Amino acid sequence: MEVLAGWTSEIDELILCGCGDSHHAALGLEMALAWWTGKRVRAMTAMTAARYLVPGLGSSSAKSLVIGISASGEVARTREAVEIGVAVGARTLAITGAIDNSLAQTAEASLTLATPPLPPGPGLLSYLASILMGLAVAATLASASHRQELERCIEDTPTILKDWCEEQMEAGKQFAEETADSIVVYLGSGPGYGSALFAAAKLIEAAGIQTWGQDVEEWTHLEYFCEPVDMPTWLLSSGGRSTSREQEVLEAARAIGRRVIVSSWPGGDGWSPPAREALAPLGLWAGPAAYASCRAEMMGEQPFRGFGGGRNFLEGGGVSRIQSSARVSPAEVLTLWQG
119 shares its domain with 252: no
Average pLDDT, rounded, for the chain:
94
For residue 184, the domain's CATH number is 3.40.50.10490
pLDDT at residue 1 greater than cutoff 90: no
Does residue 61 lie in a domain region?
yes
Does residue 148 lie in a domain region?
no
15 shares its domain with 136: yes
13 shares its domain with 127: yes
Cα(202)–Cα(121) distance, rounded to whole angstroms? 9
pLDDT in tens, 290-317: 999 999 999 999 888 888 887 887 877 7
pLDDT in tens, 220-231: 999 999 999 999
95 shares its domain with 183: no
Domains in the chain, number: 2
What is the pLDDT, as a whole number, of residue 317? Answer: 75
* Inter-CA distances, 199 with 16, 121, 248, 309, Å: 20, 14, 22, 24
What is the domain range of residue 221?
160-307
116 shares its domain with 166: no
Please give the span between the terminal C-alpha atoms of the chain, in angstroms, as a whole number: 38
Does residue 153 lie in a domain region?
no
Helix residue spans in the chain (DSSP H):
2-6, 21-37, 46-48, 76-88, 102-106, 125-141, 144-178, 191-207, 216-221, 243-255, 273-278, 286-299, 330-337
